[in-house]
A = this chain, B = another copy of it.
Amino acid sequence: MTRIGVWLVGARGSVATTAVLGALAVRAGAAERTGCVTERPEFAAADLPGLGDLVFGGHDVAGTHLAKSAEPLARSGVVPPHLPVAFAEELDAVDRGIRGGVEPRPEGFARCHVDRLERDLREFAEREAVERVVVVDLSSTEPPPAQTAELAEPDLLEAALDAGTARVPASSAYAYAALRAGCSFVEFTPNAGPRPPALAALAQELGLPWAGSDGKTGETLVKSVLAPMFAARALRVRSWSSTNLLGGGDGATLADPDSNSNKTASKARGLEHLLGHPVDGPLHIDYVPDLGDTKTAWDHVSFEGFLGARMSLQFTWSGYDSALAAPLVLDLARLAAHAHRAGRVGVVPELGFFFKDPAGSDAHGLMEQWRALTDWCSEPAHGPAEGDERR
């Protein structure tokens, strides 16, 4: 059986822990596949790698053991309390394969930094004897990157790395290393990762697929079906106000106004696309430590109907961020491996279904994205031979 390596950047965080623990539990028959999109019948024809074929590793700047990371998740109802106990051994094995990550470097990254990351990936691929590796970025939200020359031009990026002055965000350093190691890349956060021109050009040159960005796990998911509803009914949305309360690790990061602005910008772009015009209304992301991994979002939509009648829709979404994101991480790992195997190069717009800010696509409506995704996955799969050539 072909094994697929899944390398998680931020491997000790809540989402990664839930994804790894969940994959172990599902594989062992100890949990159901609820929330796994690629388990739906629409994906049967694509012959995707199985959940049981995924092998996990990753980078993290933190040293907390995976079993320790699972504790608050068990306490707050994200994962059943017996699971971390039942899979302690397997968690430990994955934990031993996690390597130290890189911290942001305002003064710039050097060649040696990215080389080390690349080496970690190659060693993982070899040790685990996997067919190919997908790198998924689950690290903390970064502030929007400065528009440096080395992000714009591949040659300048190489030169800056040689000089030790490559002012790129850590996410892009990981993306660089992943591509150099021959891995596909999934940007699950709002971070830059593989999106700046210099990185996108590198993926093209090396013949590797990538997808992103910012996993669509909660409030934006709901927006992506409600906004097309208003549009199809010719109802005019006058204001759309959103408040997001969250208390997990991501919440703490977003308390930093710089990172917050990256996230809110990503959310706002989608709504404007969906409605076809800019729309008024605040968008808040608030850190409320007490709420833990729960994410509560309230949206208030004021709209106008026939003869100017004023009406409203409001909704409250209450979900566990990690429980919503984790199965998508597994879906994306399987789909990125599929794209890689099929010889896809560059951004894969069909994966926009999973993202708030879909790279390579202007489609933000969920159902439109669903059609693009399932159309792609219902095509007869290309053989691995073709994919390998390009690799």
Which residues of A approach B to under 8 Å, CB–CB?
A: 18, 21-22, 25, 31-37, 39-40, 77-81, 83, 221-222, 224-226, 228-229, 232-236, 238-239, 241, 243, 245, 280-282, 284, 286, 288-291, 296, 298, 300, 302, 304-320, 323-324, 326-327, 353, 365-368, 370
Using Cβ atoms and an 8 Å threshold, which residues of chain B touch A310?
77
Residues in B with CB closer than 8 Å to A282 are 243, 245, 284, 286, 288
CB-CB under 8 A from A235, the residues of chain B are 34-35
Copy total for this chain: 4
Q: Is the CB of B323 within 8 A of A305?
A: yes
Shortest beta-carbon distance from A271 to chain B in Å:
14
| A321 to B306 CA separation, bound complex (whole angstroms) | 11
- Bound form: Cα–Cα A167–B93 in Å: 68
Provided the pairs A300-B298, A306-B35 are in contact, do residues A290 and B238 lie with their beta carbons within 8 angstroms?
yes
Contact A302 B327 (CB under 8 A): no
Most buried by B among A224, A235, A236: A235
B222 contacts A226, C-beta separation under 8 Å:
yes
Residue of A83, A228, A302 contacting most chain B CB atoms (<10 Å)? A302
CA–CA, A320 and B306, complex, Å: 10
Are A314's CB and B312's CB within 8 A? no
Q: Which residue of B304, B307, B326 contacts A25 across the interface (Cβ within 8 Å)? A: B307
Q: With CB as the reference atom, state the residue of chain B lying closest to A81.
A: B81
Complex partner residue of A306 from B36, B236, B308, CB under 8 angstroms: B36
User: Closest Cβ of chain B: how far from A296's Cβ, in Å?
Assistant: 6
Knowing A241-B286, A245-B241, the reply to whether A309 touches B22 (Cβ < 8 A) is no
Residues of B within 8 A of A318 (CB): 311-313
* New A-B contacts (16) at CB < 8 Å, excluding given A77-B310, A222-B313, A245-B281: A18-B306, A31-B307, A33-B234, A34-B235, A34-B236, A225-B229, A238-B290, A241-B245, A243-B298, A282-B286, A290-B302, A296-B312, A298-B314, A305-B324, A311-B319, A365-B367
